[in-house]
Chain A
Amino acid sequence: MKRRTQSLAAVPAAAVLSLGLAACGGDNQAAAEGEGGVSGEVVVDGSSTVQPLTAAAGELFGEEQPGVNVSVATSGTGGGFEKFCQDQTDISDASRPIAEDEAQMCEQNGVEYTELIVANDGLSLVVSKENDFAECLTVEQLQKMWAPESEGKVDNWNQIDPSFPDAPLELYGPGTDSGTFDYFTEAVNGEEGASRSDYNASEDDNVIVQGVSGSPNAVGYFGYSYLEENSDALKPVSVDGGDGCVEPSPETVGEGSYQPLGRPIFIYVKNSAYADKSHVSAFVDYYIENVDSIAETAGFIALNDEQKSTNEEALSKLG
């Protein structure tokens, strides 16, 4: 019986040990009040595209103000707005501007908000490094590739451009319920949601990376950060939006020459949270002040001057 109790004791000990390793060895949260520090929790929810930006901002801000906890969830842009307009979050991450019915819901619940731009993103078309023919595509060619009418009909590269080889067209793209899809379809096909449905759709952009890098005939599209991280396996396709072939890069997207696939990324701040909670206002101020370095850390593209002055205006109204 003694042996059994000994072995019985070993297991809970192991469990406690692993929990203990986690619980100790970190710093104390209760710091930073006094000496002009602020403390509190900033509750953020919304798009998973924007999450890395707000997370980076929260982390960098936390180094200056350890008493402030920025916690970020990813219920999606729509889900984030639902919670935001029900007064449950302080900030909403959004990869698209707020929709009309969402704005109405906020108004009904008395939630006033301010829209701020936090980064630019260039939706990039990518092919594998082994693809040597698809260097530049016009918007018309992109339409032929992705339009709803092309479903079942356009399945070969030489249909996109006669100079391309006779090779099957393998398409990869984001899932149909994502901001990236919404923006791309509107920019290329003229209407949100207008796309052929016979392509490899994935919610996880890493799957697109894997699919495209594995085949010389594959082409896909996603946000710029995925191109940047996988530049050894993929290369971008330049897009001709009417003014010549433009390759996606921080410069071209930032200055607005990468058309039509450059998009702004937003956060929406609850006015009452900004006014009443000093940790929220401190965080938002920090976010906007350091928006360039935050964007770079998270793999996005910095704002141009026009966007920055729009932000300043919006912030000043918040007081």
Chain B
Amino acid sequence: MTSIGDLAGKPLRAERHGDRSFTSVAFLAALWFTVAFAVLCLAVLLVDAFLDGAVRLDARLFTEYTSQVLPERAGARAAILGSAWVIAVTAALAIPLGVAAGVYLEEFADGNRWYNRLIEVNITNLAAVPAIVYGMLTAGFALSIGLERRVVLAGGIALALLILPVIIIATREAVRAVPVEIRQGSLALGATPLQTVWRQTLPSAVPGIATGSILALSRAFGEAAPLLLLGGLVFVNYDPDGLMSGFTTLPIQIFSWASQPQLAFQQVASAAIILMLVLLLVMNALAILIRNRYQKRW
């Protein structure tokens, strides 16, 4: 007879619990189908992009700037570096701000006060605002403080505002999932509320926060519309050299290439798509390592 202690922590397999009935098997099959569908879609997308773009998967994709004169020579160098710069700014702005706001709303705010409820509704609402509106907002904001709209910093602000609600929501859900015993135990041992949050609650919530941040930054990585509005470049032949530099990003460059008539541009656009997916994989892998290190089952 297996004891509770043995079961804890082991994955629960179907055989142990008499799941051979038809409905159970059908249920499991349905679940497999849903996962398979998602994986299939991804595979089809990748194969589709690969077939179009494999011809241009070469070193020049990384080292060359875009070219109007010789489309066969066009490369995504400025776009890669531009994306890196903009995402770095976005992460630096959105993650601290979002986690702080999420922690405050979940741990310290009285959920029954009207203004906290307003903020709650507010945030889910902001998650629905189309990305391009954040571009417009940042444009207005930049104009009012004298910042040029076409620079890396402005692009980073626009994307940070875009993903801020998602990070706040994910942080809240992650913090909410931490059992209250953890907090109570910490307070009982004499820690202050802030120490409790910083040393117990937050580390326990890291997996959920990491998930939310991965999804959010991936989304920011793939956005083109707000940056185009701000003045993201479609033709640039230098590396971004600071927060006040003009920039382009991979989605902008792909979009611009795809709408040009020359076949060579279509091909390099597909190659750049493959590149984006690979970089996404790297980003995700990094964040997953963080998540797996801290994942706990209560």
Residues of A within 8 A of B239 (CB): 23, 26, 29
A109 beta carbon closer than 8 Å to chain B? no
Given contacts A19-B80, A52-B68, A225-B261, contact A45 B231 (CB under 8 A): yes
Nearest-neighbor residue (CB-CB) of A226 within chain B = B261
**B246 contacts A71, CB within 8 Å?**
yes
B150 beta carbon closer than 8 Å to chain A? yes
**A23 contacts B236, CB within 8 Å?**
no
Residues 245-273 of B at the A interface (beta carbon under 8 Å): 246, 256, 258-263, 266
CB distance from B175 to the nearest CB of A (A): 26
B172 beta carbon closer than 8 Å to chain A? no
Partner of A299, one of B261, B279, B289: B261
**B260 contacts A52, CB within 8 Å?**
yes
A8 beta carbon closer than 8 Å to chain B? yes
> Please, how many angstroms separate the alpha-carbon atoms of A203 and B286 in the complex?
37
Interface residues on B, range: 35 or more
Nearest-neighbor residue (CB-CB) of A58 within chain B = B235
B133 beta carbon closer than 8 Å to chain A? no
How would residues 56 to 71 of chain A score, 1 for a CB under 8 Å from any chain B CB and 0 otherwise? 1011101000000111
> Please, how many angstroms separate the alpha-carbon atoms of A18 and B260 in the complex?
27
The stretch among B41-49, B59-67, B120-128, B206-214 that forms the contact with chain A is: B59-67
How would residues 209 to 227 of chain A score, 1 for a CB under 8 Å from any chain B CB and 0 otherwise? 1000000000000000110
**A25 contacts B258, CB within 8 Å?**
no
> Please, how many angstroms separate the alpha-carbon atoms of A195 and B149 in the complex?
35
Residues 52-72 of B at the A interface (beta carbon under 8 Å): 59, 62-69
CB distance from A222 to the nearest CB of B (A): 9
Residues of B within 8 A of A24 (CB): 63
Partner of A58, one of B237, B259, B282: B237
**B261 contacts A298, CB within 8 Å?**
no
> Please, how many angstroms separate the alpha-carbon atoms of A228 and B263 in the complex?
12
Residues of B within 8 A of A226 (CB): 261
Residues of B within 8 A of A117 (CB): none
A88 beta carbon closer than 8 Å to chain B? yes
**A62 contacts B231, CB within 8 Å?**
no
> Please, how many angstroms separate the alpha-carbon atoms of A205 and B148 in the complex?
31
A99 beta carbon closer than 8 Å to chain B? no
**B80 contacts A55, CB within 8 Å?**
no
Using a Cβ–Cβ cut-off of 8 Å, how many residues does chain A contribute to the interface with B? 51
> Please, how many angstroms separate the alpha-carbon atoms of A286 and B206 in the complex?
57
Residues of A within 8 A of B76 (CB): 22
**B62 contacts A21, CB within 8 Å?**
yes
> Please, how many angstroms separate the alpha-carbon atoms of A230 and B282 in the complex?
38
Given contacts A60-B69, A73-B150, A229-B261, contact A18 B234 (CB under 8 A): no
Residues 35-77 of A at the B interface (beta carbon under 8 Å): 41, 43, 45, 48, 51-52, 54-56, 58-60, 62, 69-75
Partner of B81, one of A15, A23, A52, A203: A23
CB distance from B293 to the nearest CB of A (A): 8
Residues of A within 8 A of B238 (CB): 29, 41, 69, 71
Nearest-neighbor residue (CB-CB) of A19 within chain B = B84
Residues of B within 8 A of A52 (CB): 68, 260
> Please, how many angstroms separate the alpha-carbon atoms of A209 and B266 in the complex?
13
Residues of B within 8 A of A299 (CB): 261
Residues of B within 8 A of A55 (CB): 66, 68, 234-235
Partner of B231, one of A21, A25, A73: A73
Given contacts A22-B80, A206-B261, contact A73 B289 (CB under 8 A): no
> Please, how many angstroms separate the alpha-carbon atoms of A15 and B80 in the complex?
12
> Please, how many angstroms separate the alpha-carbon atoms of A25 and B149 in the complex?
30
Given contacts A88-B149, A206-B258, contact A26 B234 (CB under 8 A): no
A83 beta carbon closer than 8 Å to chain B? yes
Given contacts A60-B69, A88-B148, contact A22 B258 (CB under 8 A): no
Residues of B within 8 A of A75 (CB): 228-229, 231
Partner of B228, one of A15, A23, A71, A74: A74
Nearest-neighbor residue (CB-CB) of A10 within chain B = B285
Residues of B within 8 A of A72 (CB): 233-236
Residues of B within 8 A of A69 (CB): 236-238
**A25 contacts B59, CB within 8 Å?**
yes
B98 beta carbon closer than 8 Å to chain A? no
Residues of B within 8 A of A41 (CB): 238, 246
CB distance from A178 to the nearest CB of B (A): 12
CB distance from A206 to the nearest CB of B (A): 6
B232 beta carbon closer than 8 Å to chain A? yes
**A70 contacts B80, CB within 8 Å?**
no
CB distance from A58 to the nearest CB of B (A): 7
**A70 contacts B235, CB within 8 Å?**
yes
Chosen A-B contacts, 21 in total, with CB atoms closer than 8 Å, are A8-B289, A12-B286, A22-B77, A29-B241, A41-B246, A45-B150, A45-B231, A55-B66, A56-B68, A59-B237, A62-B237, A69-B236, A72-B233, A73-B150, A74-B256, A83-B149, A204-B259, A206-B260, A206-B261, A206-B266, A209-B261
| Closest A-B pairs by Cβ, 3 of them | A229-B261, A25-B63, A55-B235
B positions within 8 Å CB-CB of A: 59, 62-69, 76-77, 80-81, 84, 148-150, 228-229, 231-239, 241, 246, 256, 258-263, 266, 278-279, 282-283, 285-286, 289
A positions within 8 Å CB-CB of B: 7-8, 11-12, 14-15, 18-19, 21-26, 29, 41, 43, 45, 48, 51-52, 54-56, 58-60, 62, 69-75, 79, 83, 88, 203-206, 209, 225-226, 228-230, 297-299
Excluding A51-B234, A228-B261, A229-B262, 9 further A-B contacts by CB distance (< 8 Å) are A11-B286, A18-B278, A22-B77, A26-B64, A71-B233, A71-B237, A83-B149, A205-B259, A206-B258
